Amino acid sequence: MTDDDIRIVIHEVLAARGLSPQAHQNVVPTHSSHVRLGMVVATAPGSPCVIEPGVGCNRCGYCVSMGY
């Protein structure tokens, strides 16, 4: 399943619940685990993971979060 496939599913679920995907874009994170760091990392699928280079990147976002 690609990122675009996931986005489509999420948009469909939000639409079914009467919500808009854009409604959540201006939400300010209230917990440190929701903050994304502004560092540049290799996030292309299949490239080495920044945290564990022996594993391919699956774009989990752990390397750009506070690690929680």
CA 47/CA 53 separation, integer angstroms: 9
Pick 51 or 40 by higher pLDDT.
Answer: 51
Residues 28-39: tens digit of each pLDDT:
666 766 677 776
pLDDT for 28: 64
Yes or no: say if 21 and 12 are a contact pair by the CB < 8 Å rule.
no
Higher pLDDT: 28 or 64? It is 64
For the whole model, what pTM was predicted? 0.41
Q: Output phi, psi for 54, to 5 deg.
A: -75, -5
